[in-house]
Structure 1
Amino acid sequence: MEKVIDDFVQHLALRRGVSQHTQRAYAADIKSLQGFLEREDKTLLDTSLVDLRDWLANCVEKGMQPATLARKGAAARTFFEWAEKTEHISSNPASRLLTPKPKNKLPKVLNQDQVSSLLNAAQTRAHSEEGSAADLRLWAICELIYSSGLRISEAVALDVSDVDFIQALVRVVGKGQKERVVPMGKPALLALQEWLTRGRPEFLQKAQEPRALFYGQRGGRWNDRDVRDKVHRLAQHAGVPDIAPHALRHSAATHLLAGGSDLRSVQEILGHSSLSTTQRYTHVTPERLKSAYYIAHPRA
């Protein structure tokens, strides 16, 4: 079964638009299913629809959220579809598997003062006497994610050549290998310049990919998990609500809309394929709605 799972993960790696994060998550989900089946003296290749439903029910009993259940269901459907096409099984037991639709939760965001506190804390630490190359790296990536509304996976995948310091633009390859070019603000440019001149050279000695913009301690591209861990610690140090790096992207979208940007422009910056995804951010700007109401409504 291990080889079957490895072959499946390799298949995912070759599929266009499947991120490494999705590959890891799906592999973990299928191994979870395998472990559940082994307790019932079964294998992945003799799984039934009832087995899959029992597995998901067991996940519910463990307190897993609808979003996690939906992903596990998607992993199972993808795996068994592949297993049928590659003739590991004769029929797909997951073809009629239904999973709960995840709730459309409102994204967690920081207000503008909180974002300023977070980024100022990162800058202060980077410029302190105890500041290190790693502190410059954290400051730079936080400024970049917030300034350009990047996903963390997009930020750590950037090469130095993707940043245009003259025009203040960054070329990003997002989900589905879709490319977009987005602007950067001056604070992000300054932080990146300091990282490139004072911080990044210290990492180059172990560099495995000379083109990468951000390195981890071992010389590979900076791992998104390590970025999350460091941003959590930075939020605690700055005295702002605990956030993940993705909340900086959400905050950027929210603040753009609050400042008067139209939905289409924000959609382009974030790289959303659907405008409905971008519309999630309109809920957090009631002041903007009230302002528009009082300006435009004849009976306001």
Structure 2
Amino acid sequence: MCSANTDVVDDFLEDLWLAEGLSQNTLSSYKTDLSHYLNFLNDKNCWSADLDLMQRFIASRVQKNYSSRSNARVISTLRKFYQWGVDKAKVSDNPAKRLVLPKMVKSLPKDLDETEVSRLLDAPDISTDIGLRDKAMLELLYATGLRVTELVSLELNDVNLRQGIVRVMGKGSKERLVPMGEYALEYLIQYLDTTRKDWLSGLKEEKVFVSQHRKGITRQSFWHRIKHYVGEVGIRKDISPHTLRHAFATHLLNHGADLRSVQMLLGHSSVSTTTIYTHISQVRLQQLFNKHHPRA
């Protein structure tokens, strides 16, 4: 790798940090993408690279089975890097802007059917403190379709037990009100009146869901709890932290909810984001038809 290239990338990242205040994770992604690119260039000066060389770099990634999403991100990085080069008069043209973004395959979310969800929700042992807390969290997650981050971020003043509603601050600081349903409300009240009160012993903590360490439970800790219960009840699917959110949306649509209502409950800014769940519902309906219709 040409050391001059490495120095240029360092300058680029420093300017990005100063100008845009990007997070370390974002800067690390840029650095990783550009490191792969510089390795491909070997000792060739990055400012002499043309469109053909960049296309061969992307083709090499395709041959190594990098995903379309990953390659699209790399192209975006190259475009930004070479535009910076133009702005700094290091190069006269940005050949990366002529790279064609790969078509993104819109993957369907991993799905749990209603029986599997019931098994998962019934897994915690509610005779224990941890089990009761986990039961309340799982029931609330499935009843509201919250993101896991939104769930663990809930504070006491976000929950209206009398009306059975939670106030959620979602992406883009957009607030929404979501009903929690009878089951979630029942176990949430039990948890607040017993486990939470016992663990905190009068300590002030605004987060609704806490750990035995007397502070809010983290997203990672709760995700480990979910994986524990998934294994315990023998669900063999590779689920994600969003799985119960996906199940919430899919099962609502399967039972006749309209798309606009589901969009509002999920906090999607555009209904087009919510339409992916209609595909899952259609798949489910096709499976039911094939299984039960005499002429299928």
TM norm structure 1? 0.71
Matched residues in 1 for 2:81 and 2:211: separation?
A: 35
> Are positions 1:272 and 2:272 aligned together?
no
Q: For the structure 1 residues 95 and 88, does the alpha-carbon distance in structure 2 shift closer, same or farther, using more than 3 Å as the test?
A: same
| Equivalenced residues, count | 274
Percent identity between matched residues is 36
User: Aligned ranges for residues 1-300 of structure 1 at < 5 Å?
Assistant: 5=13, 8=16, 24=25, 26-39=26-39, 40=42, 53=55, 56-74=58-76, 80=81, 83=84, 94-122=96-124, 124=125, 127-128=126-127, 131-133=128-130, 135-200=131-196, 210-215=205-210, 222-242=217-237, 243-286=239-282
Q: For the structure 1 residues 201 and 164, does the alpha-carbon distance in structure 2 shift closer, same or farther, using more than 3 Å as the test?
A: same
Deviates more, 1:239-248 or 1:35-44: 35-44
Unaligned 5+ runs, structure 1: 15-19, 291-300
Residue 296 of structure 1: aligned partner: none
Matched residues in 1 for 2:215 and 2:75: separation?
A: 32
How far off is 1:235 after superposition? 1.0
Q: For the structure 1 residues 95 and 213, does the alpha-carbon distance in structure 2 shift closer, same or farther, using more than 3 Å as the test?
A: farther
What is the CA deviation profile of residues 211-259 of structure 1, one whole-angstrom value per residue up to 9, with x for unaligned ones?
A: 3333567777544344333322221112223322311111111111111
Q: Which has the larger radius of gyration?
A: 2
Aligned residue type for 1:35: S
Unaligned 5+ runs, structure 2: 1-8, 287-296
Matched residues in 2 for 1:11 and 1:190: separation?
A: 50
What is the CA deviation profile of residues 265-284 of structure 1, one whole-angstrom value per residue up to 9, with x for unaligned ones?
A: 11111112222222222233
Matched residues in 1 for 2:151 and 2:14: separation?
A: 28
Q: For the structure 1 residues 30 and 288, does the alpha-carbon distance in structure 2 shift closer, same or farther, using more than 3 Å as the test?
A: closer
Counterpart secondary structure, 2:275: helix
8 Å CA contact 1:34, 1:43 repeated in 2: no
Aligned residue type for 1:271: G
Matched residues in 2 for 1:13 and 1:152: separation?
A: 26
8 Å CA contact 2:34, 2:77 repeated in 1: no
How far off is 1:29 after superposition? 2.1
Aligned residue type for 2:121: L
Q: For the structure 1 residues 213 and 95, does the alpha-carbon distance in structure 2 shift closer, same or farther, using more than 3 Å as the test?
A: farther
How far off is 1:48 after superposition? 6.9
Counterpart secondary structure, 1:213: coil
8 Å CA contact 1:232, 1:244 repeated in 2: no
